[in-house]
Amino acid sequence: MAAGIPRGEKLHLISSRVIRTSGAEFYVREAGTGPLVIFLHGMMSSAAVWRPIMLALAEEFRCVALDQRGHGLNTKQAGGYAAKDFAGDVVALIEALDAGPAVVVGHSLGARNAIVAAAMNGASIKSVVAIDYVPFVESEVLDVLEARAASGDRIYASRAEIETDIGGRLTKLPADAVRHRAETLYGEVEGGLRQLADARALVLATRGLREDFASAFRSLVCPVLILCGAQSNVVSESAREATRAARPDIPIVLVPDTDHFVIEEAPLFCANAISDFANR
């Protein structure tokens, strides 16, 4: 069972580096030793949001969080934002680390990518934890996500202004998570601060979420755990029921008093669930 780590303790455990392969370049954050766990963030985010969970798991796992393409400090290419492109990155990273098969934990966009990667190359992936995203999310939800991706690129005058904006939109996020997002997801540009994620990449990646990956989900042979926010505005009860119908053998756990941003709202709950699942 993962132990809680107070904010600020053992931050020296997390390091960052660039991993280059013949076909890609990956900016990653790493912590701990043991069996490999890969972390994939959600849309408009970065590897940095996994910090509390990585710190909680670092004593028993080798935790590697990836800035996915178009996000964070990773490559911002003009195209290549389909499910197969993201999933290919996951497999390539595991192979580059030469430490698989890996447990792959993904939130939102990252959950889709984890599922598709496991269906694409089961030899590299031991199991999957998919957090608040399933194959049956309604098109109306994706409309909202795409609109948000298209409108979120702006210049902020200060970190405080960013915190006010994030706190106003993501009302369940704890204050330290709001502050951490403001500190890590935005960089300095002329005139102020701007999100690190590329605006065009976000729109293309969001449109890519409309690809049907239900067949990939149904074909999974590795163990899978799904965590969903009990009050998620992305994964509805109808979407969960369709997921249960498609794969009744895959457990769906509701995380109390959370919405879509489960990993930041309840990091220790998630860490404990990942630890228990990975150690089975």
Q: Which residues are marked as active site? A: 108, 132, 260
Tell me the CA end-to-end span of the chain in Å, nearest whole number.
11
How would you label 75-87 residue by residue, b for 16+ Cβ within 10 Å and e otherwise? beeeebbebbbbb
Q: Distance between CA atoms of 211 and 65, rounded to whole angstroms? A: 24
- The closest alpha carbon to 200, from 68, 69, 74, 78, belongs to 78
Give residue 144's region: left, alpha or beta (phi > 0; psi -120 to 50).
Answer: alpha
* Residue 60 CA, distance from chain mean position: 20
Distances (CA, A) of 65 to 91, 106, 220: 14, 10, 23
Q: Distance between CA atoms of 189 and 186, rounded to whole angstroms? A: 9
- The closest alpha carbon to 85, from 37, 23, 133, 139, belongs to 23
Q: Distance between CA atoms of 56 and 192, rounded to whole angstroms? A: 34
Using CA atoms in the order 148, 150, 151, 157, what is the torsion angle rounded to 10 degrees? 110
